[in-house]
Amino acid sequence: MPNKVVFKEQIQNVQILSPKGKVDTKIGIPEGLDNDKLLDLYRWMTFFRRFDRKALALQRTGRLGTYPSLIGQEAVQAGAGLAMKENDWVVPSFREQGVMMVRGVPGSKILAYWGGDERGSQFDEGVNSLPICVPVGSQTLHGVGLAMSMAYQKKDAAVLSFIGDGGTSEGDFHEGCNFAGVYNAPVVILIQNNHWAISVPRHRQSIAPTLAQKAIAYGIPGIQVDGNDVMAVYKVVGEALDKARSGGGPTLVEAVTYRMEDHTTADDATKYRPPEELEAWKPKDPILRLETYLRSQEILTDELAEKFEKEAEERVAKEVADRDAMPAPDPLETFRHLYEEMPAHLQQQMAEMQETL
């Protein structure tokens, strides 16, 4: 008969801003979030939504191949992005255009990527973001590896590595979490639990009541946060990054949010998603929640909101114009950069294409 408990653990959930836009006074507004910073968060979130609406429209008119919208997940990406410090790195999956833009990736590059242009993955020096990465689960390995290398080089920086709820079923995620723990890697693995992995619902992904508890098996802290509450995301991710930077090791954060759109433009969620579920999430909208709070405190006025709208519209137009201004890629690039020395058969094919061109 077992006669003693050898291990016990609990998973906490953090919410500061309620869906009605009220601050939990027991926790209070997180340190670092003064009125200007709160407005910054709001500005980014409204910009993300506008950018995505434009990108969806561009896809419908044939100017992008496909596009994965982050609409509904703005608080996770703005909150986590603004909680990062200059030298930190972000390791995105494929729905992280928001946090990537916060880190300095131009929106025009995001549009280029989804238009099938490889230059959409080439960022300027000093932009600390890996490129968009579609293979589900791989991001944890990249993020943990990058973090291990930064610790090895004694850099004062941490990595924020993104993954979806679906991604947590991949072996790569588990291997990455294990390495993160064993090597005390300065990484925050952020699960965006948006409740769907294409047509597979969260409850078919795992019967574990939280995804954060997957951390327990690897001996690292796991915490859940209301992903539609930008204040809570900012606090939880910020504290985890600070801890990682100061040698305190990795954290697994599960941000509970909702994908309001189709998986990508190649999907039709009405075929599998109960409409009541979507309706139930609408009042929890992350932008609406912050806006309600900001207006109640008279931090946001009609005038300011209008100004932000106009700025966002202009910025989106500029990103599209910058994308359009990129010269057409050289088709011969298809052959380059694969081998140090190009094999004979590729040289021949390249010469043939050159002739045709």
Q: Compute the residue count for the chain.
A: 357
Q: Which of 95, 259, 289, 323 is catalytic?
A: 259
Should residue 142 be labelled a site residue for ligand TPP when binding is judged by CB under 6 A? no
Q: How many Å apart are CA 52 and CA 312, to the nearest integer?
A: 12
Pick from 72, 120, 137, 164: which binds Mg ion (CB under 5 A)?
Answer: 164
Distance separating alpha carbons of residues 347 and 342, to the nearest angstrom = 6
- Two structure tokens written together for 307: 């100004």
- Tell me: does residue 196 bind ligand TPP (CB under 6 A): yes
Long-range contacts made by residues 115-123, C-beta under 8 angstroms, separation at least 24?
Answer: 115/63, 115/64, 115/65, 115/323, 116/65, 117/326, 117/329, 118/329, 118/333, 119/326, 119/329
Contacting residue, 49, 54, 95, 142, with ligand TPP by CB under 6 A: 95
Answer yes or no whether residue 262 interacts with Mg ion by CB under 5 A: no
How many other C-beta atoms can be found within 10 angstroms of the C-beta atom of residue 306? 10
Q: Is residue 272 annotated as part of the catalytic site, yes or no?
A: yes
263, interface contact from Mg ion, ligand TPP, none, CB < 5-8 Å by kind = ligand TPP
* CA gap 229, 286 in Å, rounded: 6
C-beta closer to ligand TPP: residue 108 or 194: 194
For residue 154, is it left (φ>0), alpha (ψ between -120 and 50) or beta? left
Please tell me what DSSP assigns to residue 244.
Answer: H
Residue of 45, 84, 90, 197 interacting with ligand TPP (CB under 6 A): 197
- Please select the residue that binds Mg ion; options are 117, 165, 254, 285, rule is CB under 5 A: 165
Secondary structure of residue 345 in the 3-state scheme: helix
Under rule CB under 6 A, residue 198 binds ligand TPP: yes
Q: Which of 43, 49, 245, 263 is catalytic?
A: 263
Instruction: Determine the interface stretch with Mg ion among 50-58, 94-102, 191-199, 345-353 (rule: CB under 5 A).
Output: 191-199
User: Least distance in Å: CB of 269 to ligand TPP?
Assistant: 11
Site for ligand TPP in 158-177 (CB under 6 A): 164-167
Which of 28, 32, 116, 135 touches ligand TPP by CB under 6 A? 135
In the complex, least distance from residue 171 CB atom to ligand TPP, rounded to whole angstroms: 10
Exposed, middle or buried, 327 (CB in 10 Å: 0-12/13-18/19+)? exposed
- Catalytic residue annotation: 259, 263, 272
Name the site residues for Mg ion (rule: CB under 5 A): 164-166, 194, 197
